[in-house]
Amino acid sequence: MSTLVYVGANEGVSLWGLIEHFDEVHVFEPDPEIFAKLKKRYQQFEWVTLNNAACSDKDGESSFFVTNNRVASSLGAGSEEFQGFGDYNKVMKEVTVKTINLSKYLEEKGIEDIDLYYSDCQGSDLTVLNTIKEWVDAGKIKEIFTETHNNGRLLYEGLDNQFEGFVKILSKNYDFIHASLGCEQARLVGAEDIPDSNPEFDSYWRLKNNPPGIGVHLRA
C-alpha cells in the first residue's frame, strides 16, 4: 500500500500528476474557497481523502490569513519582509479554519508508512513535520518534499521555518538531495549553493539508502 500525504494543496495543480502513483492519498487545504475548487477537481477519486483543514501542532481552530494571491495564505500573518515582496502578498482577510494534529490523524487512519510527504503550508512546514517526528525518527517516510525558508529569514510572524531546523530533525536518517529554486524556471542546487537572496525554496530529502522515488522529479 503506497501512501502520499500532501499538506497545503491549494487548488491541487501540483497534486494532479502525483495521485496515480499511490494507492491512498491524504490531502489538506484550509482555505474554504480554495478547498471548494480542490474538492470539485478530486472528489471523484475514491483513493483520495480531502480534508478542509490546516495541519498544525494541535486540533482545534486558528486564524488564517488569506493573501491576495491565495497561494501565500498562512496560519501566520506575513512579516514586514514578506509584505514587502508586493501587493499580491498583502493580507486580504482573516478567517477561522479547522486545524488538525497530523500525528493524531495518521494514527487514527492507521497510516504506519508514508512513501511521499509533500508539504507547502507557508511557514508551518517545520511545525507540522515536528508533529510527525516519530515517523521521521523511525524512517517510516521514504521521501520528503517541503517548502523551506532560508536561514535568518522570518516570513510569517511566529513561525520558524528555517532550513537549519529541517537539518536538525532530518539529517540523522535522511540525505538532503537538492533545493528547488524558483517557480517558472525551477533549478536544482545543493545546500552550499542556495543563494542568500532566496527567502524560500523547496527542499527534497530521501531516506538514507533508499532508491529515488517520484519525489526526485518534483520542482518548486
Asked, for residue 154, whether it belongs to a domain, the answer is yes
Chain mean pLDDT for the chain: 91
C-alpha closest to that of 188 among 162, 211, 217: 217
Pairing of strands 141-149, 174-181: unpaired
Give the tens place of pLDDT for each residue, 138-193. Answer: 999 999 999 999 988 888 888 999 999 999 999 999 999 999 886 545 678 887 78
C-alpha cell at 152: 535568518
Torsions phi, psi of 109, nearest 5? Answer: -85, -5
- The H or E element that residue 38 is part of is helix 32-42
The number of domains in the chain is 1
> At residue 87, does pLDDT exceed 70?
no
Grid cell 525554496 is found at 201
pLDDT band per the 50, 70, 90 thresholds, residue 220: low
Q: What is the pTM of this model?
A: 0.94
CA–CA dist 215, 175 (Å, integer): 13
CA–CA dist 153, 162 (Å, integer): 7
Torsions phi, psi of 106, nearest 5? Answer: -60, -40
CATH code of the domain covering residue 184? 3.40.50.150
Asked, for residue 89, whether it belongs to a domain, the answer is no
Asked, for residue 64, whether it belongs to a domain, the answer is no
Asked, for residue 30, whether it belongs to a domain, the answer is yes
Asked, for residue 198, whether it belongs to a domain, the answer is yes
**Residues forming a β-bridge with 67:** 91
C-alpha cell at 31: 482555505
Asked, for residue 90, whether it belongs to a domain, the answer is no
Asked, for residue 119, whether it belongs to a domain, the answer is yes
Range of the domain at 136: 3-58+100-217
Asked, for residue 42, whether it belongs to a domain, the answer is yes
